[in-house]
Amino acid sequence: MKVLNIMRSRFSVGIILFAVLLFTASYAGALTAGETYTIKVQKINSDGTVNSGGTSSSATADTDGKVSFSLTGVPDNSSCNFLLITIEDIAGNTVRRSLAPCPNPGEALPVGVSGLTNAQTTALLDALESAATDDPILAVFGFAIVRSTSATASELAFMADIANQGINGNDGFINYLTNNGVTSAQLAAYKSSIVSRLADKDDGYSKFIKESVDATTDTEKLSARGEAASKLLRVLVQAATTAGFPQDRVIEAFNAMGAVVVPLMKQGVANGDLSPATQRMIDSSIGGGIQKLQADRGIEKYSQALTILGATGEDVANYQAAATTLVNAMTAAFETFEQVFDGNETDAEIQAAEAVLSTAMRAAFEQFLTATAASDARITTMISNIDSALGQTTGLTKSQFQQYKSDGTAINWPVTMVILVDWVSSIVSNGGSLTYTRDNTAIPSNITWIGDCSPSQYNNYTDKSSCENAGGTWTVGRTNFGAGGQNIPESYASIFGIQEDIMILEFTRWAKEESAGEDMGAHETLQKEFSESVANLADNMGGTTDGSTAVSSKQKSAILTLLQSPQF
């Protein structure tokens, strides 16, 4: 019988007065009714070893396999990062173990113990002791990569070693952060915040693991585990804000870690240290987690940019509703994917589940594009605002403000673009303007659809096909949106110029990434190069919001954010 089918445990851990904790546990099959068990709680030392002290209690399982007991002297995370919880039978044999974050001072700590936590604990204790650290970054990745009880003891040891190399190695995760402006004080604050977030009684990883072992059906159990897994890597990103450095540094550091870990995993499979199924488990879990993480971060950036450019009311509400739906859909997809890890999964089963996950993620994003498309009425309002700003009737129509989804269907511009145009209209109405000097990055050879149609009588043909069908000559190059080209008024032409230059940078990056293949080090460099190149476009922007007040750096950054393709 599968371990996950016979194991059901619940630990409710609450900080009471004087650090008294109450645990409530229930097992079906794993604990024998009427039998006495010993529950030990020990601190993980800063050097990764298990503290010889600690506290313990005994309890007798009731007819439902549940035990209740209290412990005193359990430390909170002001003095430790992690606790080892061990359940022993009357003969002193370990039944199950779990590694839990030390609780936040004064808060309850939900804890779950299961076959999965037992496997994670085996790998993590090995990794922490080997690295001589209680590093929470290493613990988070340990939780993330061990998703099944199917991994063998030798595989767990190998996984622990490569995770440690990816985080603490010369070119790994932490080294990337410190080489990119993160101070030692910020790094310490970062690690402290990670532990606190893992332990959060309302939304922490530990809470969802408890829910997974409380669940009464395998589907509910695995679904809760999936939700827990979907939150893990986000903890690493969110903690950066608390520590006072950009969240983007963490996302970039994932690539640095991947540059170390991916080759080691490949070699591990070749050497027989990892099975193909275990490698796919790691790839899929981390890959899906990062994809959701990029969506979370992208939505956060877009929301901030909208606020900076004055978005309010229904526009913001609709965008945030669509964003919430996207995140929920991605979480649901992750929960479904998690259900493949039943302890007996095969490489083929993981591959099939991975394909379902990928399809669900794409479908969620397509729905997001549809949900964030501006309504016809909203487009009409935007056109009216342009006419008012320019003091003339432009004759613009809805069809000029549409884009195409991957299935070829046309939808209205996203509300993010509409808000940006409205912002430009507002500064033009106030006597201001937006200016932009075009970038000079070389246009990739695979971009042939941007440029201009000549001679001058064909200027109104703005795409290659229409130009050539009319008898004009299409010349690939940066589009002249302004005077002498498409004759769009300068402030609005600037938007299109910035957008096209960002597109050129995006296609340049994508072409280089394709050439880089699975070279994670190259991907790390390309991601940073792209981010810096886009940020540098702000230096080419100018203008005022009212004829005298310069467009601020925050407003320039918001414009660049809204004009980028979604990075998820």
Question: What DSSP letter does each residue of 293-350 carry, written as one string?
Answer: HHHHHHHHHHHHHHHHTT--HHHHHHHHHHHHHHHHHHHHHHHHHHTT-SSS--HHHH
Query: Is there a domain that residue 465 lies in?
Result: no
The parts of the chain modelled with pLDDT lower than 50 are: 1-29
CA-based nearest residue to 458, from 479, 480, 478, 473: 473
Instruction: Please tell me whether residues 95 and 191 are part of one structural domain.
Output: yes
Query: What are the contacts of 269-274 at 24+ separation with CB within 8 A?
Result: 273/154, 273/155, 273/158, 274/155, 274/158, 274/159
Residues across the chain? 568
403 beta partners: 411
Query: Is there a domain that residue 450 lies in?
Result: no
Query: Is there a domain that residue 96 lies in?
Result: yes
Cis omega (within 30 of 0) for bond into 566? no
CA-based nearest residue to 368, from 566, 557, 133: 566
Provide the residue type at 235 as one letter. Answer: V
Provide the residue type at 86 as one letter. Answer: T
Predicted structure pTM score: 0.69
Total tally of structural domains belonging to the chain = 2
Structure confidence at residue 24 (pLDDT):
35
Q: Give the number of other CB atoms < 10 A from CB of residue 1.
A: 6
Structure confidence at residue 181 (pLDDT):
92
Instruction: Please tell me whether residues 259 and 383 are part of one structural domain.
Output: no
Query: Is there a domain that residue 183 lies in?
Result: yes
Q: How far apart are CA 241 and CA 189, in angstroms?
A: 10
- Residues of the domain holding 422: 373-443+478-563
Q: Where are the alpha helices (DSSP H) in 391-442?
A: 415-429
Query: Is there a domain that residue 80 lies in?
Result: yes
Q: How far apart are CA 560 and CA 563, in angstroms?
A: 5
Instruction: Please tell me whether residues 343 and 266 are part of one structural domain.
Output: yes
CA-based nearest residue to 434, from 447, 421, 444, 445: 421
Q: How far apart are CA 379 and CA 396, in angstroms?
A: 10
Which domain-ending residue is among 368, 397, 425? 368
Give Cβ neighbours of residue 152 (< 8 Å, ≥ 6 apart).
none
Instruction: Please tell me whether residues 90 and 155 are part of one structural domain.
Output: yes
Instruction: Please tell me whether residues 377 and 297 are part of one structural domain.
Output: no
How distant, in Å, are the alpha carbons of 226, 329, 550 from that of 222? 6, 16, 54
Query: Is there a domain that residue 303 lies in?
Result: yes
Structure confidence at residue 504 (pLDDT):
94
Which domain-ending residue is among 318, 343, 368? 368
Structure confidence at residue 11 (pLDDT):
31
Compute the radius of gyration of the chain from its Cα atoms.
Answer: 28
471 sits in the region (left: phi over 0; alpha: psi -120 to 50; else beta) called: left
Burial (CB count within 10 angstroms: exposed 0-12, middle 13-18, buried 19+), residue 501: buried
Structure confidence at residue 455 (pLDDT):
86
Strand, coil or helix: what is 64? coil
Structure confidence at residue 533 (pLDDT):
93
* Torsional sign, CA 115, 97, 103, 56: positive
Instruction: Please tell me whether residues 301 and 418 are part of one structural domain.
Output: no
Instruction: Please tell me whether residues 140 and 9 are part of one structural domain.
Output: yes
Instruction: Please tell me whether residues 495 and 355 are part of one structural domain.
Output: no
Instruction: Please tell me whether residues 333 and 271 are part of one structural domain.
Output: yes
Query: Is there a domain that residue 128 lies in?
Result: yes
Instruction: Please tell me whether residues 235 and 257 are part of one structural domain.
Output: yes
φ, ψ of residue 78 to 5 degrees: the values are -80, -15
Structure confidence at residue 53 (pLDDT):
86
How distant, in Å, are the alpha carbons of 167, 194, 213, 274, 405 from that of 159? 12, 21, 24, 8, 40
Place of tokens 């585990």: 225
* Torsional sign, CA 489, 494, 499, 500: positive
Which domain-ending residue is among 368, 393, 409? 368
Instruction: Please tell me whether residues 330 and 190 are part of one structural domain.
Output: yes
Q: How far apart are CA 75 and CA 58, in angstroms?
A: 19
Q: How far apart are CA 41 and CA 510, in angstroms?
A: 50
CA-based nearest residue to 563, from 540, 381, 82: 540
Instruction: Please tell me whether residues 143 and 290 are part of one structural domain.
Output: yes
* Strands 402-404 vs 94-101: parallel, antiparallel or unpaired: unpaired
Query: Is there a domain that residue 468 lies in?
Result: no
